[in-house]
Structure 1
């Protein structure tokens, strides 16, 4: 057989074409999976499969001892904040969240801080800067719960607001502002009021 220069040039071109096609298909499959995973729905947790289905059954150790069960907040509007002691924007927003908790709990609001951190670091932090709001020690496994609630990047701080029916009303990646909290205080009581 006789290989011509054009035949030899066509082989790398075909390989590049196949590699590009496979890469494009993989990217499309990944985008499709992400769209399916983060697809909009009714926002209610507990009806699906996976971590969302067991959201309200989650329990966490409390820094002062005892257990923090998310089920105790079911039926209330809930601000769930993921934070860590090593995260400067998290630490900066904690006084705002604590103030919101104290001001809004009589209006049916609950605020929970889930620390994605070492328990010893959280205990030492809270000894210096106590909070009124309940704190759960989620550890680094709390990142998976945050991802199940829409935090695809795993960044902190991350906050999710639920209505009384357990529907997600708002999500916020990054540091909260007083305006965020003021707007949340005005949110409808339940999903049917949206």
Structure 2
């Protein structure tokens, strides 16, 4: 009896195994390049978005003369008086730009009010500059009275904020000025208790 021999593979099955293009699980090169290109574009877009967000929420340089001009400003108050910034010269000062239509602004006002109550005895002053309609501010303050003075800054407050580095005009925006009249710090966005703690220590 002749021993059985292993079956000889057919030429067609060899060709299929040796040809990567014939395998259904292998990605065609063009599709792979398209995916890599898409990933690269998406990554670049993400970096561009992050860079824009960093630029948007980072205070920019203070305009020349803005620190000195600050002390010559006057604003109407909700009570009908005048808020003269010169009266705060020589004290550490926190200036908060806010509006009634800005939820983060409204959220941080009680925190700022507590800071003022706690630190006014140590010389600290807080001033709120409302970028808003006077009637809206007056109505708002009947519901949430503040111990620190508020100025009705309106559109001129937006220009002042830009001169102090808030180029986008976003709210809230906070500026901390030391007793020597120099800008110590600025923050775009909602203030935290940690921010206030750091500023109070100087």
- The TM-score, its normalising length taken from structure 1, stands at 0.71
* Distance in 2, Cα, partners of 1:156 & 1:166: 23
Aligned residues: 143
- 2:61 alignment counterpart: 38
* Distance in 2, Cα, partners of 1:83 & 1:108: 23
- 2:76 alignment counterpart: 61
Q: Residue 141 of structure 1: CA displacement? A: 1.6
1:174 to 2:189 alignment: yes
- 2:107 alignment counterpart: 92
- 1:104 alignment counterpart: 119
- Segments of 5+ residues of structure 1 without an aligned counterpart are 1-36, 40-44, 188-194
Per-residue Cα deviation, 1:18-67 (whole angstroms, up to 9, x for no partner)? xxxxxxxxxxxxxxxxxxx827xxxxx9xx44x54421010000101110
* Distance in 2, Cα, partners of 1:142 & 1:96: 22
* Distance in 2, Cα, partners of 1:81 & 1:110: 11
Per-residue Cα deviation, 1:112-165 (whole angstroms, up to 9, x for no partner)? 000000000000000111000100000122000001111111100000000011
- 2:154 alignment counterpart: 139
| Secondary structure in structure 1 of the residue aligned to 2:160 | helix
Contact 2:67 2:183 in 1 (8 A): no
1:127 to 2:150 alignment: no
- Aligned residues: CA RMSD: 1.5
* Distance in 2, Cα, partners of 1:52 & 1:108: 20
Contact 2:90 2:179 in 1 (8 A): yes
| Secondary structure in structure 1 of the residue aligned to 2:71 | helix
Q: Give the number of the structure whose alpha-carbon radius of gyration is greater.
A: 2
* Distance in 2, Cα, partners of 1:139 & 1:147: 13
| Secondary structure in structure 2 of the residue aligned to 1:57 | coil
- The TM-score, its normalising length taken from structure 2, stands at 0.68
